[in-house]
């Protein structure tokens, strides 16, 4: 199986103009992912499926991930003049990573029996319906999984033949798997509450009891 | 007589109170030919979620032209228990009992898939004896899953009760083994990251060997009832055909894929655990119809028996838990991993993203039953409605896994 | 036996056994009626999740439920008189559970099997999980366990049988199906935007007053 760098170079050769990035993965399993931009996702997916060396004809897993806006603290070493002597001091640099929703695809090959290649698409704009491109026309198995991503994360998969809610009921509003989802309040009866559940349950206690 | 002994809740009274408030679960639509002239009626029926032939709370909205299926849309979510969201709030080990409840027939293999993913994420090694125990448990699970599936499958076709009784008789023997080692019949919660929870005794191994030795005879008895049964042959051959290309493109895995003729068994491809040490074949089908799926499961059971013989013969002594594995304060490094196994229903995978804390950041179950349902409509189009039930039975779904 | 005290004196047991020795069997209408009902409870095939498998195992050869008269699992609610809610009731499924209950003819009973049907169980924190079917339906017997063993289900059926046998047919505590004004159908909740509407049925379930702080 080729390394992500080799795959990236061949993809860029096949489709110039596509922006592909390799994302790191520090854990011992170490499968690094290819981040593609939605405009070229469909073409690149077809290439990955049809290329004779890769033949990634089996899309094993499609899922969404919610990365809300986060403040990253990075410790960097800065050269500063202190008391007349140039020293290296550690400073904490704060950056704000913008929030995004992501769709992750795990691709394997049934013909050549290798894999996985991890493909990612980012939907940057949460407020405007977070669009991403559906790969159902390339791998039919993505159909239900992309509907689930739409249902639970709210990522609109453009080009999907039948995009509607699959696990929640049709009139449901809200996207439960997002990190900022607030569950409905049905904590009226909690026999042994503690921590957050206790706070929620206390809202239902009678006022004379709460005092 | 006594006015208090009036008749309450007469059926007709319920009808009139009920029907106005709720919509009917069937609809009659006009059917038009290509030129637009009305030539009949189409019936739209909602089959389920409470239905004697569905494997759980599963609903199919079927459009029928006479008896033939014109359109079929599966509806699920009636058992959506928010497993993935709950897992983000509890620790890694705390999710292990929830994995039991995904595919509630096969709790040991669910546990193994999750333990494998976490071991990939954290880089844990598993001692040999634990690997052998895992293989034994997984193959026992495969045996009882396929046996019960065939029992349910034949029950859906009308053989009410008796084959299922035979299947459950054998399943109870296997559940006895599970109960003596883990304390629970179904929700075993037995595997841990880096091994298994506790060791098996020599008496347990002897009992398992006795079960495995007797299982071949039970399978012969079971097969004698079904494999050449003319009713089964008439109802399953040529029904629900799935082609190779569609199966691969639709991400089908497990016995359904192999019945369509594709040689892809994750035990042979990924060689996870110690499966490379065992000598077993992968049965493949030719036609991709329901009968092939039934036969594949029978043959897979026989291959599982071979694996069990070898595992029970070769199991070494030693520890069953990685001494370096931490049970408390388990915090894997930030990163992500995808681990998968060949569960009795297909490829069961877990995708975990860790951010360095004790709870997973993203916990995703790749459910084989959910994805195998993608082509249910394709397989059922043009078949009669009675075949829909048979085809659904052969797909082998468990709603706990479909809806999570 | 029209009016008179609600607790009609049952036949003296000594007299009854004396008569039985002579070949004369005596009973009362209440005993006979309850005996017939208790020993032929027909459950509805209504397994939702994992507890359903233990329910099926209870009706199989090892834990034979047929000995208790509950062998015939009816697929249609119109023909059943016991609904064993076995498994997690989700909010998507809850209106259908109530609708099925409404379709059952009186007298009807509900067994809440497993922790999920009693109170949401291990999935209690879920946004789609109904925290107990007793929010919408009157439950007669609850079986704790996850899943409860088939023996526990048999114990629950026996408890239900005792409850039916001890029901008095006249008087203020007669069963619901003999009370002229008691409802036998319960309102079906509707799918709201974030939760079911109403989240519980106040006639059936009132959360107990919490006295802890």
Q: Which residues contact B94 (CB under 8 A, 6 or more apart)?
A: none
Whole-number percent of chain B with pLDDT over 70: 92
pLDDT at C182 over 50: yes
pLDDT tens digits for C44-83?
878 888 899 999 899 888 998 888 888 888 888 899 989 9
Q: Judging by beta carbons within 10 Å of its beta carbon (0-12, 13-18, 19+), is residue B358 exposed, middle or buried?
A: middle
The reply to whether B281 touches chain A by the CB within 8 Å rule is no
Point out the residue among C48, C123, C177 whose CB comes nearest to the CB of B57.
C48
> Would you place residue B6 in the very low, low, confident or very high pLDDT band (cuts 50, 70, 90)?
very low
| pLDDT greater at residue A160 or residue A186 | A160
| pLDDT greater at residue B164 or residue A19 | B164
Q: What is the dihedral of CA B367, B371, B373, B377, to 10 degrees?
A: 170
pLDDT at B1 over 60: no
> Would you place residue B177 in the very low, low, confident or very high pLDDT band (cuts 50, 70, 90)?
very high
In angstroms, the CA B379 to CA B357 distance is 45
CB contact residues (below 8 A), chain B span 314-373, against chain A:
332-340, 347, 349, 351, 353-354, 362, 364, 366, 370-371, 373
User: B300, B226, B296, B291: which is closest to B257 by C-alpha?
Assistant: B296
pLDDT tens digits for A195-204?
777 787 777 7
> Would you place residue C171 in the very low, low, confident or very high pLDDT band (cuts 50, 70, 90)?
confident
CA distance A121 to chain B (A): 16
> Would you place residue B238 in the very low, low, confident or very high pLDDT band (cuts 50, 70, 90)?
confident
Q: What is the pLDDT of residue C213?
A: 54
The reply to whether B120 touches chain A by the CB within 8 Å rule is yes
Q: What is the pLDDT of residue C70?
A: 83
Question: By three-state DSSP, how is residue B47 classified?
Answer: strand
Tell me the C-alpha to C-alpha distance, in Å, between residue B393 and each of A154, B148, B300, C172: 32, 11, 17, 50
**Tokens in use for A172?**
């449901």
The reply to whether A179 touches chain C by the CB within 8 Å rule is no
Q: What is the pLDDT of residue C75?
A: 84
Backbone angles phi and psi of A35, in degrees to 5:
-95, 120
Task: Decide if B93 contacts B329 (C-beta within 8 A).
Answer: no
User: Mutation test of the interface with chain A: which of C210, C211, C213, choosing the one with the most A Cβ atoms within 10 A?
Assistant: C210
pLDDT at C8 over 70: no
| pLDDT greater at residue A115 or residue A164 | A164
- Rounded mean pLDDT, B248-276: 91
pLDDT at C212 over 70: no
pLDDT at B14 over 50: no
Contact C193 A184 (CB under 8 A): no
- Rounded mean pLDDT, A91-105: 83
Question: By three-state DSSP, how is residue A5 classified?
Answer: helix
User: A90, C131, C123, A81: which is closest to B100 by C-alpha?
Assistant: C123
Domain ranges of chain C: 2-38, 51-160
Q: What is the pLDDT of residue A97?
A: 80
The reply to whether B156 touches chain A by the CB within 8 Å rule is no
Task: Decide if B71 contacts B62 (C-beta within 8 A).
Answer: yes
pLDDT at B21 over 50: no
Contact A176 B82 (CB under 8 A): yes
pLDDT at A98 over 60: yes
In angstroms, the CA B168 to CA B184 distance is 17
Q: What is the number of other CB atoms lying within 10 angstroms of the CB of residue B99?
A: 25
Q: What is the dihedral of CA C74, C76, C82, C83, to 10 degrees?
A: 110
pLDDT tens digits for C91-102?
999 999 999 999
pLDDT at C4 over 80: no
Contact B169 C61 (CB under 8 A): yes
Contact A169 B77 (CB under 8 A): yes
**Tokens in use for A99?**
């929030």
pLDDT tens digits for C109-148?
999 999 999 988 888 888 889 888 989 999 999 999 988 9
Please report residues of A whose CB lies closer than 8 A to that of B324.
none
Q: What sign for the dihedral angle of Cα B263, B267, B270, B276?
A: negative
Whole-number percent of chain B with pLDDT over 90: 47
CA distance A91 to chain B (A): 23
Q: What is the pLDDT of residue B114?
A: 94
CATH of C51-160, one of 3.20.20.120, 3.40.718.10, 3.40.470.10, 3.40.50.12280: 3.40.50.12280
- Rounded mean pLDDT, B260-266: 91
């Amino acid at each position: 199986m080729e390394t992500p760098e080799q795959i990236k170079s061949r993809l860029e050769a096949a489709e110039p103009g596509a922006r592909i990035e390799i994302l790191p993965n520090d854990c011992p399993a170490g499968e690094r992912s290819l981040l593609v931009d939605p405009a070229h996702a469909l073409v690149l997916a077809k290439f990955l499926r049809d290329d004779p060396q890769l033949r990634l004809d089996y899309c094993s897993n499609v899922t969404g991930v919610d990365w809300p806006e986060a403040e990253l603290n990075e410790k960097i070493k800065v050269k500063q003049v202190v008391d007349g002597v140039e020293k290296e001091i550690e400073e904490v640099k704060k950056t704000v990573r913008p929030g995004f929703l992501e769709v992750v695809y795990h691709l394997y090959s049934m013909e050549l029996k290798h894999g996985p290649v991890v493909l990612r698409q980012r939907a940057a704009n949460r407020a405007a319906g977070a669009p991403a491109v559906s790969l159902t026309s390339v791998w039919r198995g993505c159909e239900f999984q992309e509907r689930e991503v739409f249902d639970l994360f709210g990522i609109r998969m453009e080009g999907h033949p039948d995009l509607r809610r699959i696990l929640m009921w049709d009139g449901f509003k809200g996207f439960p798997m997002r990190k900022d989802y607030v569950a409905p309040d049905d904590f009226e009866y909690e026999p042994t509450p503690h921590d957050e559940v206790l706070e929620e349950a206390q809202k239902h206690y009678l006022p004379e009891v709460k005092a | 007589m006594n006015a208090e002994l009036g008749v309450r809740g007469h059926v007709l009274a319920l009808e009139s109170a009920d029907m106005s408030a709720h919509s009917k679960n069937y609809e009659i639509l006009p059917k038009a030919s290509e030129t637009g002239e009305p030539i009949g009626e189409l019936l739209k029926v909602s089959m389920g979620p409470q239905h004697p032939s569905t494997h759980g709370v599963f609903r199919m909205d079927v459009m029928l032209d006479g008896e033939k299926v014109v359109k079929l849309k599966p509806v699920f979510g009636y058992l959506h228990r928010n497993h993935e969201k709950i897992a983000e709030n509890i620790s890694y080990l705390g999710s292990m009992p929830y994995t039991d409840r995904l595919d509630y027939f096969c709790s040991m293999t669910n546990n193994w898939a999750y333990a494998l993913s976490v071991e990939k994420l954290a880089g844990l090694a598993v001692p040999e004896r634990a690997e052998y125990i895992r293989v034994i448990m997984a193959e026992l699970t495969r045996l009882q899953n396929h046996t019960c599936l065939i029992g349910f499958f034949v029950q859906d076709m009308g053989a009410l009760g008796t084959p299922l009784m035979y299947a459950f008789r054998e399943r109870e023997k296997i559940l006895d083994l599970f109960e003596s080692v883990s304390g629970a019949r179904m929700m075993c919660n037995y595997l841990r990251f880096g091994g298994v929870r506790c060791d098996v005794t020599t008496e347990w191994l002897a009992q398992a060997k006795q079960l495995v030795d007797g299982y071949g005879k039970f399978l012969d008895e079971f097969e004698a009832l079904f494999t050449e049964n003319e009713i089964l042959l008439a109802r399953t051959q040529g029904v629900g055909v799935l082609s190779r290309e569609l199966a691969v493109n639709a991400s089908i895995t497990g016995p359904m894929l192999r019945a369509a003729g594709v040689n892809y068994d994750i035990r042979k491809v990924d060689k996870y655990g110690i499966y490379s040490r065992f000598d077993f074949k992968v049965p493949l089908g030719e036609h991709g119809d329901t009968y092939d799926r039934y036969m594949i499961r029978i043959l897979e059971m026989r291959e599982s028996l071979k694996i069990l013989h070898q595992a029970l013969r070769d199991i070494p002594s030693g520890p069953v838990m990685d001494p370096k594995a931490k049970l408390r304060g388990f915090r894997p490094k930030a990163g992500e991993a995808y681990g998968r196994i060949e569960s009795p229903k297909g490829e069961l995978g877990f995708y975990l993203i860790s951010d360095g804390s004790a709870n997973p950041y993203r916990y995703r179950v790749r459910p084989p039953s959910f994805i195998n349902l993608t082509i249910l409509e394709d397989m059922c189009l043009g078949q009669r409605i009675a075949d829909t039930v048979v085809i659904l039975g052969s797909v082998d779904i468990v709603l706990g896994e479909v809806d999570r | 036996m029209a009016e008179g005290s609600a607790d009609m004196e049952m036949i003296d047991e000594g007299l009854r056994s004396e008569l039985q020795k002579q070949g004369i069997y005596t009973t009362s209408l209440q005993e006979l009626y309850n005996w017939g009902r208790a020993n032929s409870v027909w459950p509805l095939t209504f397994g939702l999740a994992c507890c359903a498998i233990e329910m099926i195992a209870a009706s199989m050869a090892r834990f034979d439920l047929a000995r208790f008269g509950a062998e015939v699992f009816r697929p249609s609610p119109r023909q059943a008189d016991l609904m064993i809610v076995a498994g997690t009731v989700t909010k998507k499924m809850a209106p259908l559970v109530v609708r099925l209950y409404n379709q059952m003819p009186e007298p009807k009973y509900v067994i809440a099997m497993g922790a999920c049907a009693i109170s949401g169980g291990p999935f209690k924190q879920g946004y789609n999980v109904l925290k107990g079917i007793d929010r919408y339906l009157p439950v007669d017997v609850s079986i704790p366990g996850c899943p409860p063993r088939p023996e526990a289900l048999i114990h629950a059926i026996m408890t239900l049988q005792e409850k039916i046998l001890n029901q008095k047919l006249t008087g203020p505590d007669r069963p619901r199906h003999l009370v002229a004004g008691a409802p036998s159908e319960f309102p079906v909740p509707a799918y709201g935007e974030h939760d079911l509407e109403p989240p519980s049925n106040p006639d059936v379930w009132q959360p107990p007053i919490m006295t802890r702080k």
